[in-house]
Structure 1
Amino acid sequence: MTPQPTAATDPGHDGVHISHGRAWIDRSAGVRIGYTVAEPSSPPEKKASKTVVLLHGAPQTRHAWRHVLAPLARAGYRVIAPDYRGAGASSKPRDGYDKWTMAGDVHTLVHDELGIEGPVSVVGHDLGSMLAFGYALRYRDDVVSLTTMEAPLPGTDYYEQRKVAKSAWHFDFHANPDIAVYLTHGRERWYVTRFFDDLTYQPDAITDADVDVYARAFQAPGAMRALCEIYRELDRDARIHRDAVASGGRLSVPVLASGGAAQALAASYQGMCEEIADHVTGHLVEDSGHWVPEENPEGFVRMFLDFDHRARTA
């Protein structure tokens, strides 16, 4: 199925065509996935042959990638940025929030609905990194490279250590949906702002207008509960991922372990990824805290293009 654009080429993005849509993934379960596609504005015979899938974190939506869509498209990529299950314009069912199932959503969107052929580069930030890891384990032959940023990956020893740290209080809080939903109801904007205030190095990177986008997303019916369900599944994700590594071996594709250089935890990510992958590159993005693609989009784009080029030409 060819994506049907709901917006014309953005005049502010010369040479790039950006479109948006929602695709049915599972009609019986009522699951639709919202997405954005950015690609070079070229004749059909010169369309991008490389595809990168960008998986956002929390409390966010695909809006998190707004600054990097056009630069990646100008670099010759078809860029797919979905709202994963439970976020943004995507459906918010009661279940299906383990990363194995969510990876299936993304795979169906990319290959069955958008008609992309061949393997893709997968990039995740925050919770999106956990999903990207699950995708790489489930669809090993469909991944050119894996980029992870700013998250402990379920299935690693580092995840087990990190989830019990005091600063990871939100893991347990969100894993109790009834409590979390009740306490944040009507306070969603204040709640999401707290994460940006605490974890941002560049204070002006995420504006009030951006916070409005995220706040509206999590004020939507079912959105906060969906976020909580994603966290509640993390320990099960860890078991699934460990079993996948035990049965299928460590990842053989190139893996980039990244984060913001201003984050104290970022130095731990390379060692974490070396637990589950054979070929790991570590690279921290300067002048950035947790929200890497928003705080230093230029640094992220340079890092990814260099890494993915080496992965594709190795």
Structure 2
Amino acid sequence: MSQDESTELHVTHGMAQLEPGLRLHYVTAGEGDRTVVLLHGFPQTWWEWRRVIPLLVQAGHRVVAPDYRGAGHSSRPAAGYDKRTMAGDIHRLLREHLQIQHPVAMVGHDIGLMVAYAYAEMFREEVSHLVVMDAPLPGTEVFDRLRVDPRVWHFAFHGTRDVPEMLVAGRERQYLQLFYNARIFDPSAINEEDLDIYASAYSAAGAMRAGFELYRAFDQDAQENRSALERNGKLKIPILAIFGAISNTGSGVVEMMHEVGEDVTGLEIPRAAHWIAEENPEKLGAALRQFLDR
């Protein structure tokens, strides 16, 4: 990457053994007790945040960016892809493995949005800020409306048992490239090197199956989110709902978060579609730093 010295990416890799058969890979950067947790989407890994991490570190934050269950270098178990279980994974990574005891800011994009919300809902006293980026949340009216939109055809395709594995096997790079290009403003934001990194991750044994299981858990996620909202009420922490200027979700992400949160601010990122952290990292980084200073 051609970056000036102030935004050069310096991260430390680690592996957390959470239980037999479940390890989470993560990277950390920066120091201090202002911790930001970055949760990627599908079909990506922690690498999604490569251009945002230096901006947050420069602003004095400590960053933790995991590969969630099933992605990247983390384990790919057969089950556990409901978002509350995945949030529990992240909680154990932060509290037990990294020994972080202070409240953290959760930032989630796409599937990571769903995990970040589950984390904030389950561990309310342990989250200071929540940032959600460009995806619908199961259990909301916005999700029910968007899941039947032809532009999100992949929800049904990925949710079908066995068929997507059969059709994508051996064509992972081609499928990922199609997937990115269908939801992008700036095609250069995910270049050939980046595509190689993602394709290598999702060509690994079981990786695409694990990715599809994320979608197969949506009905369970919806039921659990509705029950939690009825039981515990809306979130009270500050929430920033971000969407790309030409994304499929659009301002629906703001409407969606008003369903589950009391203090919601919406933000449109220009020159971006769905892959905001890669298409316009400067605008995103500036927005995160301003919001996290609240």
What is the distance in 2 between the residues matched to 1:63 and 1:137?
A: 26
What is the distance in 1 between the residues matched to 2:240 and 2:146?
A: 20
Q: How does 1:243-254 map to 2 (within 5 A)?
A: 243-254=227-238
What is the distance in 2 between the residues matched to 1:17 and 1:230?
A: 30
Give the TM-score taking structure 2 as reference length.
0.96
The residue number in structure 2 matching 1:31 is 22
Shift of 1:295: 0.4
- Give unpaired runs (5+ residues) of structure 1: 1-10, 40-46
Q: How does 1:1-314 map to 2 (within 5 A)?
A: 18-27=11-20, 30-39=21-30, 47-310=31-294
What is the distance in 2 between the residues matched to 1:73 and 1:276?
A: 30
The residue number in structure 2 matching 1:3 is none
- Give unpaired runs (5+ residues) of structure 2: none
Identity of aligned residues (%): 44
What are the Cα deviations for residues 31-70 of structure 1, in whole angstroms up to 9, with x where unaligned? 000000010xxxxxxx422000000011101100001111
- Contact 1:53–1:120 under 8 Å retained in 2: yes
Give the TM-score taking structure 1 as reference length.
0.90
What are the Cα deviations for residues 268-296 of structure 1, in whole angstroms up to 9, with x where unaligned? 11111101100000001111111000000
Shift of 1:263: 2.0
What are the Cα deviations for residues 148-169 of structure 1, in whole angstroms up to 9, with x where unaligned? 0110011211111111111111
- Contact 1:49–1:76 under 8 Å retained in 2: no
1:246 aligned partner, one-letter code: E
What is the distance in 1 between the residues matched to 2:249 and 2:154?
A: 16
CA, structure 1 residues 15+296, in 2 after alignment: closer, same or farther (shift >3 Å)? closer
Runs of 4+, deviation exceeding 4 Å: 11-17
Give the superposed CA RMSD.
1.6
What is the distance in 1 between the residues matched to 2:133 and 2:8?
A: 28
Equivalent residues, number: 292
